[in-house]
Structure 1
């Protein structure tokens, strides 16, 4: 701890893909890699109280599925961080496990890995969009039974209510990096009409690239105007974005896709709407009570369900790893962060 180099904590599994970049990190900083035991919450909190790792300046977590053993970075944990810490860079697009506003109050930049997963998540959204328009889950489920009668039932019945996405209106909630990529693929690939709800309007040029996309500030209006709604926002503030009341505002017979956060949707209300026919089909990559999947949706042949795999591509995993390290390198070298999440909340 007596080195003049800044100290950086590496949380989670060892780096696998960007080994040269990791060597660069090690050449500029003292990299400390807490063990799995040290990352358990009681041990981690005690280590911070004891200043076991000294006055470290940054933290990076190169993989989303390890390095989070200490649980939520909240009002219990954040005050224990040293005053020297200025950046936390993590894999993954979501950050519902970290109170980024508390980070900002302490002058700590939080950087995520959303840009590394944009392509993969957008592809998964397109898969779900196609599935909910064409009733593909019914066909998939029937084929896997190996039962000829169910096969023929799906063969004959699946086209009922199925549509080509072309010409239909896609409403995207959250037109950030991922949302914009979904819109681009849906417009160019399917010739869909794009409307969106976001706090920040896109430029006229960006909207023109999507065939004249329109921003709709009122979420209820977007829901009522969309043939298919895609949830692509980290927002919600701990509340349900789509509860029973909001779901009732959706166009009758419309579709819904969620590749953002499962907790944004009341899934029982969603199952009600699906079973009543108010919503024709849903596509969910994320779920309200992961890893448990709503049993009513599991049984419904108009519900396309995947296991939070939207970002599941090599390019995402490698990109998460690289981005986490590059954010730390940039901030601790006095440069601007690549993917800041809470910069707008910082006082200075």
Structure 2
């Protein structure tokens, strides 16, 4: 796609791309639009756009490719020519699906495209956290030779909260480390757990039993899934991994329990507010923190962008999308 057609948003574009990660490490997503003759503009404001910024920049667009930007009823109302909103990712909790349906706007996402990347990152954060890789590295580069002890994963119980594609991929990897597995997902039938040989338990049972709790689900309504009570109920010396949504965990409570040693380690890729300026986890003991990059592999970037671009083109042509949410 020509450099001009990817420049800042302009009047007359068909598609507004707001997320900088779209096609960031792959040409294939841009080539889908180019082959279809679709005119593409990119947002002038930094991602994620506010509601007001998105209202201003989305005027005249027929399609949006968004990341974490809030696609609200007000945004949809301000863009009467909008036909499709594509989430460059999987979770659509930042998109008002009911309002989209009411406005006749299709919503698509890219399920499965980041499964491998996020599952890999989950295990990377787990190993880095429990084996204290970050302070060990800092010790060596700082001219020291400190020794850092941590537990082996074999025989430890991994509690997987959210047993969809990513949760199942994490289970397969954890088996390679000889971990015991339990899972919680109230939206899945018992047959799914049986198929994978993973016992289904309540959230209360999982929190009380697991040595490691890892989260792989959208943000629920009603506050953090792991609040202070749930975190306190975890086994002494346990570990929390979150590569899903920052709001799933009470970050203040987690930081306090890390500092007290009740929770031994945490690997956190997502935060309630990003970037997490002033977040108590920034100074918490034994926390490995990454900048919401679990899905950032070259392969996932190509697959995710191509999937959403292909569905956007389908909708603009009057065809049914493959990965329809609404």
Matches of 1:298 and 1:179 in 2, distance apart? 26
Aligned equivalent of 1:33: 41
1:45 aligns with 2:55: yes
1:11 aligns with 2:22: no
Q: Secondary structure at the match of 1:21?
A: helix
Matches of 2:293 and 2:54 in 1, distance apart? 29
Aligned equivalent of 1:80: 78
Tell me, which stretches of 5 or more residues in structure 2 are unaligned?
Answer: 1-12
More displaced 10-residue stretch of structure 1: 272-281 or 73-82: 73-82
Matches of 2:105 and 2:33 in 1, distance apart? 22
Q: Secondary structure at the match of 1:115?
A: coil
Matches of 1:43 and 1:306 in 2, distance apart? 27
Give the drift of 1:270.
0.5
Aligned equivalent of 1:93: 90
> Do 2:219 and 2:247's aligned partners in 1 also have CA atoms closer than 8 Å?
no
Alignment of 1:1-348 (within 5 A): 8-12=14-18, 17-18=27-28, 19-26=30-37, 31=39, 33=41, 36=44, 45=55, 53=60, 58-61=62-65, 64=67, 71-82=69-80, 85-144=82-141, 146-148=142-144, 151-152=145-146, 155=147, 158-159=148-149, 162-187=150-175, 189-201=176-188, 204=191, 206-208=192-194, 210=196, 212-216=197-201, 218-237=202-221, 239-292=223-276, 296-332=280-316, 336-341=320-325, 343=326
Give the drift of 1:230.
0.3
Runs of 4+ in 1 over 6 A off after TM superposition: none
> Do 1:88 and 1:108's aligned partners in 2 also have CA atoms closer than 8 Å?
yes
Q: What root-mean-square deviation, in Å, do the aligned CA atoms of Structure 1 and Structure 2 show?
A: 3.0
Larger radius of gyration: 1
Alignment length (residue pairs): 306
> Do 2:256 and 2:284's aligned partners in 1 also have CA atoms closer than 8 Å?
no
Matches of 1:43 and 1:131 in 2, distance apart? 38
Give the drift of 1:107.
3.6
Q: Secondary structure at the match of 2:39?
A: strand
Matches of 1:107 and 1:78 in 2, distance apart? 10
TM-score (norm 1): 0.76
TM-score (norm 2): 0.81
Deviations 1:313-341 (A, max 9, x none): 11122122101112223445565533334
Deviations 1:34-93 (A, max 9, x none): 6637x8865753577xxx63xx6x5142x74xxx7xx522132222332x6442112123
Tell me, which stretches of 5 or more residues in structure 1 are unaligned?
Answer: 1-6, 344-348
Q: Secondary structure at the match of 1:215?
A: coil
Matches of 1:290 and 1:305 in 2, distance apart? 12
